Structure 1
């Protein structure tokens, strides 16, 4: 865990990178006891606590049930106390709230805690996108309203700028999952006006290679 600790220490100044690193590590280590052992050895290490909580969340998601939801929440809250400026404990709590099918006001409350610390947190926006979808507690209309609101206020170079396009990809996959004739017709999704416009906006507004734009613009 020493290498992971050094990696996470290096990304503390970039919340987008840190969140992404933790999400990838949690997914890859979801069957490992290493993160929990690390948190046990270093109970005042915020990175260890968040990684342990996130791996348990990923493990529970893959198994369809959580072994210790209260323990995950406790680890996140302790990490939040140790590093109050860090959005990642709240990102994990957001995922936990979704998996437990908490009410939308509760989930939005946790989401706002993330945004207070990192206005354009990619993982938080994508998490809310899934939460508001019909597969969880919302509807297609709620997804569209959310995407419209995000598009209206998000800078083109913000980490969460792909939210609109991600919504289109999720919609495409949901049609594929229906099977039958609907799946055969899914290829037409990208010719629909909303999907085509999302692709056009991405092509014209996303920062290209070598761009001097910042990755984490200040909130307005």
Structure 2
């Protein structure tokens, strides 16, 4: 169903200025030029660059997590990791990438409701557990296992219905998240995977929203300054907006929500607690897009302009697709991004 256009989200049409010639770029590698080069090698079936990149990344867990995630998406489309495995079966980095690829394929099969999904999930789980044994200090295998939990919507597996240390949070794969904590306390992807799990397992939209909001508020209560986890609430709000629009509940409050509490408080926290305190070259392009949208939708055009400037040419499909005229049309999301960018960068200094 096409999303309801809201007054709070609309930018004036007909704006013609120097921003009209701007062309957004979609690149999962974002600002990581080294990763971008290796992705191109993976596309054509070469694995040596992937091996060298992961070796040079070392124990920078945040960078390792993001790089293996992107590489896993592209490597899952070919047999490049299998070729690496045949040449160097004992390489621990190869085993980690084997886990990334297996999880990506299992989740894809789950989304498509393919009959092979249960078998692929079981195989991916075994591969990830094996990688965790090879690299006991590496958080990535545990992040992968947490990602697999999304496919267990009914929480059949015991490790996916454990009680949280925080009483207000529902049962879930908390043991897996705590395994990540032991290795990388503020791991960005792990918390996003947990948020997706809460959305996937809820019985309905209201339940999903409540669990997700409780989770992100809990995370925000202890996430330190400079942490990308301060952007996590903006993902929960965007997902809530999408679900409410699909449920045809886009009332007046929903249309104005981006400019009111608690969203503006979390937007301000992300702006001043994360964006202003970190190196733009180390920031996630996805996080910047969510922050740019939230600031623009709150009518903080100058703040949004600073975020768009930091983004450079990089664009992500979401959250712009959620608030576009047609969420199913990629061009509608792109047009929404361009409107918001032009309006923000044209705001008076």
Instruction: Find the aligned partners of 1:186 and 1:24 in 2 and give their Cα distance.
Output: 34
Instruction: Find the aligned partners of 1:159 and 1:193 in 2 and give their Cα distance.
Output: 21
Deviation of 1:92 after TM superposition, in Å, equals 0.5
Q: How many residues align?
A: 212
- 8 Å CA contact retained: 2:84, 2:94: yes
- Say which structure is richer in helix: 1
**Which residue in the other structure is 1:190 paired with?**
258
Deviation of 1:109 after TM superposition, in Å, equals 0.9
- Sort the Cα spacing of 1:40 and 1:108 in 2 relative to 1 into closer, same or farther, 3 A: farther
1:90 aligns with 2:136: no
- 8 Å CA contact retained: 2:198, 2:212: yes
Gaps of 5+ in 2: 1-46, 111-116, 163-171, 284-349
RMSD of aligned alpha carbons: 2.7
Q: Which of 98, 101, 109 is 2:175 aligned to?
A: 109
Q: Which of 21, 36, 58 is 2:67 aligned to?
A: 21
Deviation of 1:183 after TM superposition, in Å, equals 9.2
Q: Which of the two has higher C-alpha Rg?
A: 2
Deviation of 1:209 after TM superposition, in Å, equals 7.0
TM-score normalised by the chain length of structure 2: 0.55
Q: Which of 125, 133, 145 is 2:191 aligned to?
A: 125
Deviation larger for 161-170 or 13-22:
161-170
Instruction: Find the aligned partners of 2:78 and 2:264 in 1 and give their Cα distance.
Output: 42
* Helix, strand or coil at the partner of 1:114: helix
- Sort the Cα spacing of 1:176 and 1:62 in 2 relative to 1 into closer, same or farther, 3 A: farther
- Sort the Cα spacing of 1:46 and 1:170 in 2 relative to 1 into closer, same or farther, 3 A: farther
- 8 Å CA contact retained: 2:225, 2:277: no
1:136 aligns with 2:214: no
Instruction: Find the aligned partners of 1:26 and 1:14 in 2 and give their Cα distance.
Output: 18
Instruction: Find the aligned partners of 2:216 and 2:201 in 1 and give their Cα distance.
Output: 17
